[in-house]
Amino acid sequence: MGKGLRLLALVLVLTGLVAAPAGAAPAPPTVSAGNFIRVYDPSVGESAQWYYNDHTLVRDVVTGTWHVYAITHAEPANPLDEKNFGHATAPSPNGPWTKRPFALTADPALGESHIWAPHVIHHNGVYYMYYAAGTPDHAAYRMHLATSTDLNTWTRSAANPLFTDGFDARDPMVTRVGPTWVMYYTANSTPTGGNHQVAYRTSTDLVHWSGKQVAFSHPASGTFGGPTESPFVIFRGGWWYLSICCDAGYKDTRVYRSRDPFRFSVNDLAGRIDAHAAEIVTEPSGATWVTGAGWGQGGLHVAPLSVNSSYANVFVGGGGADFNGDGRDDVVTFTHDPLADVYVALSSGSGFTGTSAKWHDWFALSGETPLTGDVNGDGKDDIVTFTHGSLADVHVALSTGSAFAGAAKWHDFFAIDGEVPAVGDVNGDGRDDIITFTRNNLADVYVALSTGTSFAASAKWHDFFGIAGESPGVADVNGDGRDDIVTFTHGSSADVYVALSNGSSFGASAKWHDSFAAGLTDPRLGDVNGDGKADVVQFSREGVVHVALSSGTSFGTSRKWHDFFAPQGEFPYVGDYDGDGRTDIVTFTKLPGADTYVALSTGTAFGPGPKWHDYFGLPGETTL
């Protein structure tokens, strides 16, 4: 894996994701919900039945208290008289919920004949509530904003209306795509009606928004209602998911998937959920829930959400690959499409040079897992692919310094379906070996050592490490020249365990950190301070990067090394891109523009993140 220190072979694993058979077409992801349980009834304390409809859940970043805000009204449904947002608080999305006074009441003097569908986000100490302000003119509903610092007192923005649209433009949902804020909302092809759409607008400051663009268009047309209500967008495992309601019935939420957060198609259905006005809520632990509410539904309901796939969406890498042996790590992308091309962009030390070059024209088919590593010990990183499936072959294409040679089979049974392969020099002989984590009930770890021309027979090196749901990786964390294994448990415990290599097996696992890479953060391994020992790095969905340095026997206190790099939707990675002996960070935006940014390590922090390439690593490719 490049020069000197063998860095990482880290995997990011989403619950339920396994590899598809070699060459198989990717199967569509499946999104499903567990059993819904009613967790709150807004009728409590009232003399009649009340309902919640479109709603939003947000967590107080200081106290940890959860807040729900929702359209609320006495039954039966009376949408044009919905003038208040209900408010309740709880220690978790599952309750118990405590009723609070209305959060906001429609103000006709401000163009609000009724108010619908609040959505709240947090940014830089401020909570932003977006909502639709209804008017007598259905072709010019107003999108309004109110802000708060405590989630109790809300102040309307002087910029209202942020924009107007129809027919009954409503149901805003705001998320971040790269450095840009995106508001999705329900609209039609014209303000007076037409095809039902999910429109979007972009912003850099959460106040001023672009003109209307369209993320999803449904073949059905009309005015009020329709199948594109309550849009909600999340990112999981290289895919963007859009949930909308209500297609064939009041509680028919459909989920679509796309590689592009701005382009969804009715042909890419990923699941159906029996809920109205569904919202998706993720706790800091990573636990993800889907909620539902609506007219006649009796309040707020919550169910666990599952996003599963048979496609090989387990991202694996070799952590900084120097393909031409010049001491600087380069980047590689595997297209996986019917062409199965491999492109490389070499590092100049201050950028990835020019147009990327094709280094191989048939390697790592769809469903296979590609990695990098110096498997013959010549100082140049090579490419390795694991076919999985019934054959479970391992193929290698050696680097010549300017291309990858023809692929050859180096092992005929390694890393079957459901296992997570990795690459690293575990015996310290200068040649990278292959490792697989079985992740089943046994959680075994097998190694096949490199001879320089093939991988030898596999042997069990550990009998319980890296169980399902964890993210195992490979790196030399104690600086002895042999790669060790590391696993991140995620969840609320967020422990990090290490098992050191003795050259012929991995020793007993030990906890090296008790709070790192919680929830959906993305962990990586690399020697960021250049002391010869690999450290741990985590990337949050908000773009904050933390590091915990290795002492050789544990990982130290987590510290912030960058305050905005690789936000949600991007793929972060690591490597020594300027050749100074310290691991840097790189991010591939994975948007149609396919930009690549690098932040170099100073030894105590990561510097600014300038663009190093303007077109590399398209959506759907594996880029390392």
| Local confidence band at 592 (pLDDT 50, 70, 90 cut-offs) | confident
More confident residue, 32 or 319: 32
What's the pLDDT tens digit per position in 399-458? 999 999 999 999 999 999 889 999 999 999 999 999 999 988 899 999 999 999 999 999
pLDDT of residue 12: 38
pLDDT surpasses 60 at 274: yes
Q: What is the mean pLDDT of the chain?
A: 93
By the 8 A CB rule, do 574 and 559 touch? Answer: no
pLDDT surpasses 50 at 10: no
Distance CA 311, CA 236 (A): 13
More confident residue, 219 or 22: 219
pLDDT surpasses 90 at 5: no
Three-class secondary structure of residue 79 per DSSP: helix
Give kind and range of the element (H or E) at residue 497: strand 496-499
pLDDT of residue 16: 32
What's the pLDDT tens digit per position in 57-116? 999 999 999 999 999 999 999 999 999 999 999 999 999 999 999 999 999 999 999 999
Distance CA 258, CA 217 (A): 14
Distance CA 134, CA 141 (A): 5
User: HSE of 433 in the Cβ direction (CA atoms, 13 Å)?
Assistant: 30
What's the pLDDT tens digit per position in 320-368? 899 999 999 999 999 998 999 999 999 999 999 978 899 999 999 998 9
Residue among 453, 318, 480, 326 at smallest CA distance from 386: 318
Distance CA 243, CA 586 (A): 31
DSSP secondary structure code for residue 455 in this structure: B
Distance CA 117, CA 276 (A): 13
Amino acid, single-letter form, for residue 506? F
Six-digit token string for 237: 């495992």
Residue that has been written with the tokens 């169980």 in this structure: 467
Distance CA 254, CA 145 (A): 28
Give kind and range of the element (H or E) at residue 236: strand 229-236
Average pLDDT of span 156-161: 99
By the 8 A CB rule, do 151 and 198 touch? Answer: no
**Lowest-pLDDT choice from 18-22, 71-75, 184-188, 580-584:** 18-22
Q: What is the DSSP string of 239-306?
A: EEEEEEE-SSSTTEEEEEEESSTT---TT-EEEEEE-SS-EEEE-TTS-EEEEE--TTS-SEEEEEEE
By the 8 A CB rule, do 466 and 510 touch? Answer: no
Average pLDDT of span 380-395: 96
Instruction: Give the chain's domains with CATH numbers.
Output: 30-308 (2.115.10.20)
Distance CA 366, CA 21 (A): 9
| CA dihedral angle for residue 602, residue 603, residue 606, residue 610, rounded to 10 degrees | 30
What's the pLDDT tens digit per position in 541-564? 999 999 999 999 999 999 999 999
